[in-house]
Amino acid sequence: MPALMMQPDLSNVVVSGPVRTAALTAWQQQGWPGPRVESWRFTKLDRLAAREITPASSLSTATAGDGLAMAAGMGAHAIQIVNGVIDPASLEGLPAGVTAGNLSDDQGAQDAMMALAPPNHPVSNLSMAVMSGGLVLDVVGEVARPLMLIFEGDDASLSAHPVVLIRLAPAARMVMAEWHQSAVALSAPLIGLDLAAKASLDFVKIQSEGSTTSHLAATGVSLAGEARLTGFSLSVGGEMARLETHVTMAGEGADCQLSAIYLGRGRQHHDITTVLNHDIGHCTSDQVIRGVLDDRARGVYQGKVRVAEDAQKTDGQQMSRALLLSRKAEVDAKPELEIYADDVVCAHGATVGELDATQLFYLTSRGIPEAKARAMLIEAFLIDAIDSVEIDNLAQILRETATRWMAQTGLTTDGNQHG
Amino acid sequence: MTALLEIRDLHASVGDTPILKGINLTLNAGEVHAIMGPNGSGKSTMSYVLAGRNGYEITGGDVLINGESVLELSPDERARAGMFLAFQYPVELPGVGGMSFLRAAVNARRVEAGEEEVDQLAFVKMVRAKAGELDINDDMLKRAVNVGFSGGEKKRYEILQMALLEPTISILDETDSGLDVDALKIVSDGVNMLRAPERTMLVITHYQRLLNHIVPDHVHILAGGKIRKSGGKELALQVEETGYAGIDDAA
Ligand SMILES: Nc1ncnc2c1ncn2[C@@H]1O[C@H](COP(=O)(O)OP(=O)(O)O)[C@@H](O)[C@H]1O
Ligand SMILES: [Mg+2]
């Protein structure tokens, strides 16, 4: 491995215990994947790998992001993670039904985390090894108050490696959000969601990192029988972002709705990668992915649905649509079905296009100025997807973030300035 | 007197195919004109060209509103100059809320006229009143534009927009297609209410029956991209009897 590839610099990181040591070894052997690794063909890491960065090790004060206000707005308990380090004070007064534990000295939980984590993924290994902060949240019963994990950070020479394992006991129910808004060089959260039978989780993630941050997230999910996950990610910040989620349907009747929106401008790069493993039959999964790209932004959607030989009566759907607002914007969409069972209903599709000319004509023929008509259609494209989020609080922060992006991109639906 | 809408020797092509081959029409204030013609004769193309849709090459002639050429104007500018097109196939806009769509259209017109934008509450009242007359219920108003509407509902929604925008020049492209007898009556009543001395209408239809309800002052037969014959409302009855073939021969 060339020295150039071995960033971040781990010389001062102390790695203890067999799970983390094994992860470190795997990281040191594999490093950052190069362009020849098929699943990283569209997302190149050479710029990131060339930056000199060191993992954060101690807690610093939180920066003034929007996370706390967002959490307050939705009445959520906020857990603050700064430069990848968990603020212990924010673990006090957790909602009833939620218990926090320390992942860094819990071998069993680390094992469980690695079983969930995307396999052979650089972030699975690197962040498990470094673990700038490690948290286990155990959830029982119906949690009345939403939880928000706020990931902040202000130091552009640092990498953040928080690892959070969330386990929902049978029939537990929770609403939670991840809010990412930092200025670190590399934000590399490793998140595990383990839902026991009949557990239910409504989940929103907002990636609103600073303009020079690389956000590489690895999320692993396991759904036991009749468990239900409704997840929605909005990727809007960062210089480069990859949100990779692996889901395993481990019990019959599990249901996974995974939606994502990416919004890019300038030279931003957004990658949404998902792997849905239908290991067992009678489960449903549905993925709705939407992207809007302006300027020279790039989008990547890789979605694999794998249906095991015995996983009959699987229903797996995925649909990706991207809107390009500029001729220089680009999308690579790669939906994939890998089906080994014969009695399944699976479908996938991907479209990339400009705004619909007929719709635009209809709006302008009513006197609506073209710029406003365009903004109305882009907003509709996004709101239409966000409207599938049933929890009002979660839909609200998604809508706000999307609307803010539109305003910053010069797309405004208010006012009638023309002529 | 200057005509509200004047079409002068209008020629238009799609790609290399000429579709409109020299149309002449003059619509004065207070007049209702009907255009009849077989399928494929160029009726919708003419309505799109008048409204300024992209994709047509104007190879000759002119279109004037109040004596001024509008060929250089964009669709929204033409609309704000008083033109309205009721689409033969109204367009679904998933995610675009009906009320915000209607309000955006009305406010665009108001801003152009130097008036205040209408406030939310007054607007809802205004829409409800007009919607009631067209048998459009609150549920339809709440939905995304044209999404999940039946064919008849879409046509009534076009007329609602027309009623709210109060255009001086209305072009109705086969607003009767897909309507049953009751819906035809509702739509026609809505259109007739907008007849006024300072306005004009161009009613495009394939069948004579609409013209029993919206009685035109002038009827024109369009075939092969040209007006073949013009007359009074009796011309429509003649078409009903002899079909377009007879008219075409006579031309
Ligand atoms: N976009 C287009 N591309 C090619 N041909 C077209 C297009 N639009 C209309 N045409 C042709 O122009 C002719 C007139 O069509 P149209 O205006 O829709 O007729 P009408 O409304 O009278 O039925 C038809 O022959 C039709 O096939
Ligand atoms: Mg037509």
- Cα dist from B79 to A244, B117, B141, whole Å: 47, 17, 22
Nearest residue (CA) to ligand 1, atom 24: B40
Q: What is the pLDDT of residues A143-171, one digit of tens each?
A: 999 999 999 998 899 999 999 999 999 99
Q: pLDDT value at position B251? A: 41
Q: Which two tokens stand for residue A106?
A: 């819990």
Give me the residue label for tokens 């305003």. Answer: A407
A389 touching chain B per CB within 8 A: no
Percent of chain A with pLDDT over 90: 88
Q: Are B109 and A367 in contact (CB < 8 Å)?
A: yes
Q: Is the CB of B37 under 6 A from ligand 1?
A: yes
B194 touching chain A per CB within 8 A: no
Q: Which two tokens stand for residue A30?
A: 């594999």
Last residue of a domain, one of A251, A283, A301: A251
Q: Is the CB of B167 under 6 A from ligand 1?
A: no
Atom of ligand 1 nearest to the CA of B46: 17
Q: pLDDT value at position A412? A: 82
Q: What is the pLDDT of residues A18-49, one digit of tens each?
A: 999 999 999 999 999 988 899 999 999 988 88
Q: pLDDT value at position A59? A: 75
B107 contact residues in A (CB cutoff 8 A): 416
Does the ipTM exceed 0.90? yes
Residues A210 and A90 in one domain: yes
Specify if A197 maps to a domain.
Answer: yes
Strand partners, B133: none
Atom of ligand 1 nearest to the CA of B41: 22
Q: How many CB pairs under 8 A join A and B?
A: 95
Residues A97 and A236 in one domain: yes
Q: pLDDT value at position A269? A: 98
Q: What is the DSSP string of B32-44?
A: EEEEE--TTSSHH
Q: Are B105 and A366 in contact (CB < 8 Å)?
A: yes
Q: Kindly identify the ligand whose nearest atom is closest to the C-alpha of B18.
A: 1
Q: Are B76 and A369 in contact (CB < 8 Å)?
A: yes
Last residue of a domain, one of A228, A251, A274: A251
- Domain ranges, residue A240: 18-251
What is the domain count for chain A? 2
Q: What is the pLDDT of residues B92-130, one digit of tens each?
A: 999 999 999 999 999 999 999 999 999 889 999 999 999
A381 contact residues in B (CB cutoff 8 A): 95
Q: Kindly identify the ligand whose nearest atom is closest to the C-alpha of B89.
A: 2
Question: What CATH class does B3-246 carry?
Answer: alpha beta
CA of A312 to the centre of ligand 2 (A): 48
Confidence of residue A2 (pLDDT cuts 50, 70, 90): very low
* Residue of A367, A372, A380 with shortest CB distance to B93: A380
Sequence ranges of the domains in chain B: 3-246
Interface with A, mutate which of B65, B73, B76, B147 (most A CBs under 10 A): B76
Confidence of residue A4 (pLDDT cuts 50, 70, 90): very low
Give the integer Cα–Cα distance in Å for A387 and A375.
Answer: 18
- What's chain B's average pLDDT? 93
Residues A362 and A245 in one domain: no
Distance from CA of A70 to the nearest CA of B (A): 25
Return the best residue to mutate from B16, B17, B19 for the ligand 1 pocket (most ligand atoms within 8 A of CB): B19
Burial label, A280 (beta-carbon count in 10 A; 0-12, 13-18, 19+): buried
Q: What is the 3-state secondary structure (H, E, C) of chain A?
A: CCHHHCCCCCCCCCCCCHHHHHHHHHHHHHCCCCCCCHHHCCCCCHHHHCCCCEECCCCCCCCCCCHHHHHHHCCCEEEEEECCEECHHHHCCCCCCEEEEEHHHCHHHHHHHHHHCCCCCHHHHHHHHHCCEEEEEEECCECCCCEEEEEEECCCCEEECEEEEEEECCCCEEEEEEEEEECCCEECCEEEEEECCCCEEEEEEEECCCCCCEEEEEEEEEECCCCEEEEEEEECCCCEEEEEEEEEECCCCCEEEEEEEEEECCCCEEEEEEEEEECCCCCEEEEEEEEEECCCCEEEEEEEEEECCCCCCCEEEEEEEEEECCCCCEEEEEEEEEECCCCCEEEEEEEEECCCHHHHHHHHCCCCCHHHHHHHHHHHHHHHHHCCCCCHHHHHHHHHHHHHHHHHCCCCCCCCCCC
Asked whether residue B36 carries a pLDDT value surpassing 60, the answer given is: yes
Residues A221 and A365 in one domain: no
Q: pLDDT value at position A3? A: 42
Residues A48 and A194 in one domain: yes
Mean pLDDT of B141-156: 94
Q: What is the pLDDT of residues A112-137, one digit of tens each?
A: 999 999 999 999 999 999 999 999 99
B105 contact residues in A (CB cutoff 8 A): 366-368
Q: What is the pLDDT of residues B9-25, one digit of tens each?
A: 999 999 999 999 999 99
Q: pLDDT value at position A63? A: 65
CA of B174 to the centre of ligand 1 (A): 14
Q: What is the pLDDT of residues A199-227, one digit of tens each?
A: 999 999 999 999 999 999 999 999 999 99
Specify if A412 maps to a domain.
Answer: yes
